[in-house]
Amino acid sequence: MLIGEWNIENANARQHRVTYGTSSISNSSEWTKGSYAPVLLGNVIGFKTIKTVLVVKGEDREEIIRNKSLIISKCLKPIMLTLDGYQHKFWAILKKSDTEETSMRRWHLLTLEWNCCECGDRITQTYEGEKKIIINNPGNIMTPVIVKILPQIGTATLNITGLTRNELLNETYDIVVENTEISKEIILNGETGLITEDGEIKAGEVEMWELPSLMPGENTITVDENVNLTISFLPRYL
């Protein structure tokens, strides 16, 4: 088991058991008088919950306590969690931890509960000067993307379609980037919300309905100017 890039074996521990939950879903709907069926107004997909139980060993009780403390210290920030026996990874935040001293003097159980989202391997694709791009998202829920734009010419406005949408109305909206300059890289980071041009904040010159994302399956993206476009994302799963 890896916490970020750190292996719990460094604390003389191993993964013992995983309790695998599903993502919470909250729907908003109404059933108006005279209608034949309820109307879905929207939904919110929440965290997936996972509980991991670790066996932590040591030569004595004091060493075991230090090893448990070391493991928890690696979980104070959001991390990418890699579990033994699972193909996907989990972008996780530690929710709580519990410990159990066993009758065996040289090992304890450490239970870590996580709020997380399940992710596949990162996919990164670059397109040079293409006006129409088709990209497949193998995940099964909406996935935020990092969009890197490298203009080949300077323009007053650059329009990108297919990365923002109103799901309920089944409409896509343009991302409009103003005042692009040749070879100045613009990054629209749907994972962090940061919008930059050559490292400087550019949010004031970008109009969009929401942060860029991909629907599950095939997505068609169009651009109206000559740019090199890089799309990078971690497919997400319910």
User: pLDDT at position 163, please?
Assistant: 95
User: pLDDT at position 41, please?
Assistant: 65
User: pLDDT at position 106, please?
Assistant: 85
Q: Domains of the chain, with CATH numbers?
A: 2-119 (2.40.30.200), 123-237 (2.60.120.860)
Nearest 5 degrees, angle CA 143-CA 145-CA 148? 170
CA gap 213, 162 in Å, rounded:
9
Contacts of 73 (CB under 8 A, 6+ apart): none
Q: Quick one: tokens of 81?
A: 């969690």
User: pLDDT at position 142, please?
Assistant: 92
* pLDDT, averaged in runs of 10, over the chain (238 residues): 97 95 76 74 80 96 95 96 96 96 85 96 94 95 96 92 83 92 95 94 92 95 92 96
User: pLDDT at position 32, please?
Assistant: 76
